Amino acid sequence: MEMRTFSGTLLFDSPARFYMSKAEWMIMMKRNTRICLIVLLGIFLLVFPAMAALNTISQGNTVFLGEEGLDISGAMNADTQIGWWASGASVATSAPYPTYVISNAKNFYADPSLFGSYQGAWYRLDALGKADGTAFVIADPNLNLRVEDTSVSVDVTQNKWVYRGDEVGFRIETNLNAIASQRNTPALITIKVQSPDGGVYSALVDKGVTTPIENIPVSTSPYDTNSIWDTGGSSYPSGTYTIWAECNVNNMKNNYETTGKTVSTKISMLNTEFNPLIGVNVPTTNPTTQVASTHTTVITTTPTPKITTIPKTSPTTVVITATPTAVATSIMETSATTPPAPVATTPKKSPGFGILVTVVSVALIAALALKKH
């Protein structure tokens, strides 16, 4: 269908041609506007009861120290006084201590100075001061925040630094998640990220997605935000960031600002392009390496000149080895060839004796020969 405009009148080229004047167009727009307003009002009415429930306490619900403006009328059942029994005490047979008069059940304040030492169940008291069922439970809030480098799965709470460009997420650990299950609306917790220059971010950006970090609806514990912060973004310079979480549901933080309770412990996180552990160790490691290397070189090279340049060992070895061998060989050869020498050398002192023996021998042989003939 082709639409053309002529001097304020809309003409539609279709099998059934029709036109709408400017006045009719304005009437239609007003009608649509009214419809939109009605729809928005309906959405608001649906959301508003849930928002109001943050301060509505039913019987047996948990009330956290520091909360104010609570409507506990549904928990009181028309009674006007509450009492507390110590652990192990008999609610049926013993008297409560302390007791507290509810002056306005529509505006109750869990004053930490009054209820801080008496946590646990508080009971409604009837006109006779007897227990008339549980009213609510007083509890100390607790709030802890962990910062996680999701790029390398490292707990920054302990590590204290991240490489600039790593992605970061947060984990909230708290007992305030009971608000969600009991009051039909989650506790609103804000994560504070303070930049090196002192500014505090209300939202963080990761992969082009902006995530608000104020009034985060926390309905579970632990509660993980997953990766919501690209620390390499242009809005996040290198330096030390201070990070913490806080909860001010029903003004609990304003009335009871205590670390670990309505405010988490603050965490320092260094956003850096270099590993600070290596940077710290370099000055210490380098001198150690240089000293070790120098020392090793001295020990290794000093004995070497002594062995190679001083020829004491080699000549001594040759002389010692050759001399005993030659002497031993001469002795052995002499011993082997000289045993008959004493016989040969003894006659040299009396040469005539040998001649005499020879003559006698010849004479005897001749005489024996003549006798036979």
How confident is the model over 32-49, as pLDDT tens digits? 655 544 444 444 444 444
Residue 202 lies in a domain: yes
- Residue ranges making up the domain that contains 112: 62-139
pTM for this entry: 0.62
Q: Which of 63, 47, 258 is nearest to 176 (CA)?
A: 63
Beta carbons within 8 Å of 226's beta carbon, 6+ residues apart: 150, 169
Amino acid letter for position 100: Y
Residue 191 lies in a domain: yes
Query: What percentage of the chain exceeds 70 in pLDDT?
Result: 61
Question: By 3-state DSSP, what share of the chain in percent is helix, strand and coil, each rounded to 5?
Answer: 40, 30, 30
Contact 192, 245 (CB under 8 A): yes
Retrieve residue 282's tokens. Answer: 């370099």
Contact 251, 65 (CB under 8 A): no
Domain containing residue 198: CATH number: 2.60.40
Residue, of 338 and 110, whose pLDDT is higher: 110
Indicate the DSSP class of residue 65: T
Domain boundary among 277, 298, 333: 277
Residues 220 and 264 in one domain: yes
Number of domains in the chain: 2
Retrieve residue 267's tokens. Answer: 């965490």
What pLDDT, in 10s, does the model give residues 169-191? 999 999 999 999 999 999 999 99
131-139/62-64 β-pairing = parallel
Indicate the DSSP class of residue 214: S
Q: How is the beta sheet containing 143-149 ordered, strand by strand?
A: 154-155, 143-149, 167-174, 223-230
Residues 126 and 176 in one domain: no
Domain boundary among 139, 172, 193: 139
Residue 300 lies in a domain: no
SS3 215: coil
Beta carbons within 8 Å of 213's beta carbon, 6+ residues apart: 170, 190, 191, 192, 193, 201, 202, 203, 204, 225, 228
Residues 266 and 200 in one domain: yes
What would the mean pLDDT of 286-313 be, rounded to a whole number?
43
Highest mean pLDDT among 104-113, 274-283, 313-322: 104-113
